[in-house]
């Protein structure tokens, strides 16, 4: 019998990673292209599918390819379209699943990138065996994939799970979506830098971060710098993580009140700050949980590396694990 394989594609604002994956979650071949090099979607599809054809050529003999799964920002599972993605150059509605399917003659299933990460965690990562959990991706923005009773939560239109755009302060920071005070303007790699600049500007406390040049709008300071300063015991850096963790913790308590997950998994750049982000987030989450939820909702780090999780999650879609 021929071995079954699928293709997983993770489209990010900067890179698009893709790979050929077997049922056990082994990535047998992978490659990537620069998403932001393409001003139009058509040449992107041409290059992406031509690379995938090259990869597939290696497996033609003893394998059968079942389908393609794609994780993409603002990807809609119901329509197969990318719809109004603020972090991509292709504007409006892009019928991505159709475009890929026409080139590769395989069924294509699409979902948003955070949902794909949640599938990756469920099948290969920290959420193995769980039926109710939430994955929070802390990257440039804040994405969320919510699993309820073993299935991704899509809602009536395919757009459920936008926790990055829940409200922290009704008159708060301006978000890329046009609203004020969204969670992702505070709890994300971008948000924590904004917090750092605010705290540095409002205090005279010495800090290692003062050695890094920054100007509002175009920061050189990165979330990694804040992490590295925190590791050296920098008071301001620790205060920045405390503030970020408080906001994230309160909103995670809200999420627990909503769907009562067994665990919340933090994934992506900012989650790699380890205890500096986990400790305050857990503390405030517990504090704002209803008493009967306390000490039973796990707050876990992802068990997949960033690139693999997305490819594996997208691949899981192709296996019909949506």
Residue 322 as a binder of a second copy (CB under 8 A): the answer is: no
d(CA 94, CA 266): 29
Between residues 103 and 262, which has the closer beta carbon with respect to a second copy? Answer: 262
Per the DSSP assignment, residues forming a β-bridge with 16 are 11, 33
Residue 237: enclosing H or E segment and its boundaries? helix 235-259
Cβ of residue 165: shortest distance to a second copy, in angstroms? Answer: 5
Q: In 3D, which of 81, 134, 139 has the Cα closest to residue 110?
A: 81
Residue 170 as a binder of a second copy (CB under 8 A): the answer is: yes
Q: In 3D, which of 318, 320, 322, 321 has the Cα closest to residue 21?
A: 318
x/- binding map, residues 212-251, to a second copy, per CB under 8 A?
----------------------------------x---x-
d(CA 29, CA 100): 19
Put the strands of the sheet holding 263-267 in their side by side order: 151-152, 142-148, 133-138, 263-267, 298-301
For residues 270-289, which are near a second copy according to CB under 8 A?
Answer: 287-288
CA gyration radius for the chain? 20
Look-up of token digits 């909103």: 251
# chain residues binding a second copy, by CB under 8 A: 45
CA torsion sign for 34, 88, 191, 268 is negative
Cβ of residue 214: shortest distance to a second copy, in angstroms? Answer: 28
Cβ of residue 114: shortest distance to a second copy, in angstroms? Answer: 12
Quick one: DSSP state of residue 37?
G
Point out which span in 6-14, 114-122, 125-133, 218-226 binds a second copy (CB under 8 A): 125-133
Between residues 63 and 159, which has the closer beta carbon with respect to a second copy? Answer: 159
CA torsion sign for 283, 289, 290, 294 is negative
Interface pick for a second copy out of 163, 209, 240, 312 (rule CB under 8 A): 163
Residue 64 as a binder of a second copy (CB under 8 A): the answer is: no
Cβ of residue 251: shortest distance to a second copy, in angstroms? Answer: 8
15-22 and 3-11 beta bridge pairing:
antiparallel
For residues 126-155, which are near a second copy according to CB under 8 A?
Answer: 130-132, 146, 148-149, 151, 153-155
Point out which span in 203-211, 270-278, 292-300, 311-319 binds a second copy (CB under 8 A): 292-300
Interface pick for a second copy out of 15, 259, 279, 307 (rule CB under 8 A): 259
Residue 84 as a binder of a second copy (CB under 8 A): the answer is: yes
Point out which span in 112-120, 177-185, 233-241, 311-319 binds a second copy (CB under 8 A): 177-185
CB 296, CB 108: distance < 8 Å: no
93-94 and 82-83 beta bridge pairing:
antiparallel
Residue 63 as a binder of a second copy (CB under 8 A): the answer is: no
d(CA 103, CA 66): 15
Question: Where do contacts with a second copy occur on this chain (CB under 8 A)?
Answer: 83-84, 130-132, 146, 148-149, 151, 153-163, 165-167, 170, 177-179, 246, 250, 253-255, 257-262, 287-288, 290-293, 296
């Amino acid at each position: 019998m021929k071995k079954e394989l699928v293709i997983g594609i993770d489209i990010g604002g900067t890179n698009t990673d893709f790979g050929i994956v077997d049922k056990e979650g082994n990535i047998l071949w992978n490659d990537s292209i620069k998403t932001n090099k393409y001003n139009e979607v058509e040449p992107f599809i041409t290059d992406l599918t031509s690379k995938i054809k090259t990869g597939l050529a290696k497996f033609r003999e003893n394998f059968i390819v079942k389908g393609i799964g794609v994780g993409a920002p603002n990807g809609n599972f119901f329509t197969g379209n990318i719809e109004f993605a603020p972090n991509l150059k292709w504007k409006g509605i892009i019928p991505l699943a159709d475009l890929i399917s026409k080139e590769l003659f395989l069924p294509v299933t699409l979902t948003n990138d955070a949902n794909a990460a949640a599938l990756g965690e469920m099948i290969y990562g920290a959420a193995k065996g769980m039926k109710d959990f939430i994955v929070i991706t802390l990257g440039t923005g804040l994405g969320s994939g919510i699993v309820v009773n073993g299935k991704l939560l899509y809602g009536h239109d395919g757009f459920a799970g936008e926790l990055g755009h829940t409200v922290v302060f009704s008159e708060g920071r301006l978000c890329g979506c046009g609203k004020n005070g969204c969670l992702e303007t505070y709890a994300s790699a971008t948000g924590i830098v904004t917090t750092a600049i605010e705290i540095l500007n409002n205090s005279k406390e010495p800090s290692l971060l003062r050695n890094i040049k920054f100007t509002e709008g175009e920061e050189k300071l990165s979330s990694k710098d804040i992490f590295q300063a925190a590791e050296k015991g920098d008071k301001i850096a620790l205060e920045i993580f405390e503030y970020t963790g408080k906001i994230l913790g309160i909103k995670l308590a809200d999420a627990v009140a909503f769907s009562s997950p067994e665990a919340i998994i933090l994934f992506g750049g900012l989650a790699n700050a380890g205890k500096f982000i986990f400790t305050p987030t857990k503390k405030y989450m517990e504090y704002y949980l209803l008493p009967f939820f306390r000490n039973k909702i796990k707050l876990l780090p992802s068990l997949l590396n960033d690139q693999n999780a997305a490819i594996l999650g997208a691949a899981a879609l192709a296996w019909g694990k949506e």
